[in-house]
Structure 1
Amino acid sequence: MMKKWILLFCVLSGISFLHAQVLRHRTVALMGSRFDISIVDKDSLSAEKDIDEVVAEIDRIENLISEWRPNTQISEVNRNAGITPVKVDREVFDLTKRGIYFSKISGGAFDISIAAMDKIWKFDGSMQEMPADSSIRKSVARVGYENIVLDSANCTIFLKKKGMKIGFGSIGKGYAADRGKALMLKKGIKAGIVNASGDMSVWGLSPKGRLWRIGITDPFHPSEYIDIITLDNESMVTSGDYEKYAVINGKRYAHIINPKTGYPSHGLTSATVKGPSAEFANGLSTSVMVLGAKKGKKLMKRFPNYQYYLITDKEKIIKSKGWESVKRK
């Protein structure tokens, strides 16, 4: 699902870029999004080389799973929808399998085949009237994770319906952030942040020996943080609907679409999830945004290693019992 809107920012309290010999930061465009990569190493040259490796790993992943690059394995799967199964790398197969898992546990609120949805909603300010109900229903005719066939023995993916597509806009960047972190840990890099437009994996301590502090943007006052927490070798993801939306007849329609109905989700303005994996947190936050607070909380209870911080469109905050905020002076 589309996730260009996520707003998590690293609060650099306790981190100084004067410590260039131990911390380096780079912002790059990858997977159609902004990535902020921060690495703590023995010197700036080593840290820059580490960042190069993280960038190369993310680019490798994009060259496997991008639905926009024509030569990727996922593009080949999509081109052969309704025609023939396509053999893919086990990594791609397993990521698809996990995408289907999220689709199942969310009852279809999350669906990796939403990539096939007709783009009838426009959130660039140009949309002045509602699409027809019939057009909205038709827009999701080719959406349905139930029509994805996985053959583990042959490592193939088959989309039953012509015109179907799968995409990883909702978990791909989280997966990439997790992989960047794993690559650095394997190399012995003891601290850093891979922030994929808000799908964030964090490990180790800042140069001053403190846990990394992360701020969650207030959706109703975007220049401010509504909460700040510390992450201890964890990941955090925010799904939000407050950057891209359309106002039609005085009503606000956000860009996160319910893949079952074709209509924009409503009730929640943002959903932040933190836990061990950015990919998993990503799948949960997207699901919760579509499910809404009541059903979303029920889903989250199944995963006690993950915590949530929800903000409703009425500015109400709902958070899990284990959620700990940084005390502000």
Structure 2
Amino acid sequence: MSNTKIMQWKLLVFCLVLLVIFLVRGVFNSHDEQTLKEMRIIMGTMVTITAHHHDVGVLSNAIDAAFKRINQIDALMSTYKEESELSLLNKAKKPGRYPVSNDLWNVLELAGRMYQQTDGVFDVTVKPLWDVWQLAADTNKMPLKSEIEKILDGIGWRHIKLHSDSKEIEFVSESCMIVLGGIAKGYAVDVAIEALRDNGVQNCLVDAGGDIFCSGVAPDGKPWKIGVRNP
């Protein structure tokens, strides 16, 4: 075989290799990561979910599942919804012992640990005090000192007990009520991330008005970037 023909064959093989590479790259490019960002107003704030996955159907379903879980937490723990599980507990006869859902139990357990770790600074039993100051803001009238002191006597973790064997909460005092505004949103973000992962999406970010959870990497393959506004 002449050198010319050999060169022609080499050129043909080289072109075929390039064609194969081009086709393979085309196949992989058809499976490039898709990024979705969805925002909804839940729990009194803007909740944003950003996630990426090569299958947009998987991505969409996972984001829907995450928002569904956040709505479930809101329906359980909102003090603004009269029929929420928490609102019904606050209106229940006291003293008394009542079963709670798994989600509410998880948050109450965490709240109890936070109460201990902060020496009582983080206290979800401040609902009566919360209500008094909310009324003061609405009426532009300061509450009496004696009224505040009376309310403070009924506040504190000592006024409730958690029974882990039956997942029940026991209200020891008549006036004890709970507000979860300082913890429920963070828990909702946690379960939203769990829902995304359970539905096949590992690379995601959930932001609920500043309560943020980052999982995996950002769409550019680098770590997620978050920041604190100054001021």
Is 1:69 the counterpart of 2:81? The answer is yes
Pairing partner for 1:91 from 88, 98, 103? 103
Q: Which runs of 5+ in 2 are unaligned?
A: 1-31
Distance 2:150 2:96 in 1: 24
Q: CA deviation at 1:124?
A: 11
Distance 2:137 2:105 in 1: 38
Higher relative contact order (CA 8 A, sep 6+): 2
Output the amino acid matched with 1:166.
I
Q: CA deviation at 1:139?
A: 4.4
Output the amino acid matched with 1:88.
V
Is 1:185 the counterpart of 2:186? The answer is no
TM-score, length-normalised on structure 2? 0.75
As a proportion of its length, which structure holds more helix?
2
Percent identity (aligned): 23
Counterpart residue number, 1:54: 66
1:199-278 matched pairs, under 5 angstroms: 199-219=211-231
Distance 1:56 1:79 in 2: 26
Q: CA deviation at 1:109?
A: 0.4
Q: CA deviation at 1:212?
A: 0.8
Distance 1:126 1:119 in 2: 10
CA contact (8 A) 2:100 2:168 kept: yes
What are the superposed Cα offsets for residues 139-166 of structure 1, whole Å, 9 maximum, x if unpaired? 4343211111112222211222223211
Query: What SS class does the counterpart of residue 140 from structure 1 fall into?
Result: helix
Distance 1:123 1:42 in 2: 51
Output the amino acid matched with 1:188.
G
Counterpart residue number, 1:140: 152
Pairing partner for 2:210 from 193, 198, 203? 198
Q: CA deviation at 1:76?
A: 2.5
Distance 2:53 2:136 in 1: 41
TM-score, length-normalised on structure 1? 0.54
Q: Which runs of 5+ in 1 are unaligned?
A: 1-19, 220-329
Query: What SS class does the counterpart of residue 178 from structure 1 fall into?
Result: helix
Structure 1 window deviating more from structure 2 (113-122 vs 29-38): it is: 113-122
As a proportion of its length, which structure holds more strand?
1
Query: What SS class does the counterpart of residue 37 from structure 2 fall into?
Result: strand
Distance 1:204 1:124 in 2: 45
Is 1:105 the counterpart of 2:124? The answer is no
What are the superposed Cα offsets for residues 82-121 of structure 1, whole Å, 9 maximum, x if unpaired? 2421111233223212111111111110001112214444
Distance 1:86 1:29 in 2: 31
Task: State the structure with more CA Rg.
Answer: 2
Give the superposed CA RMSD.
2.7
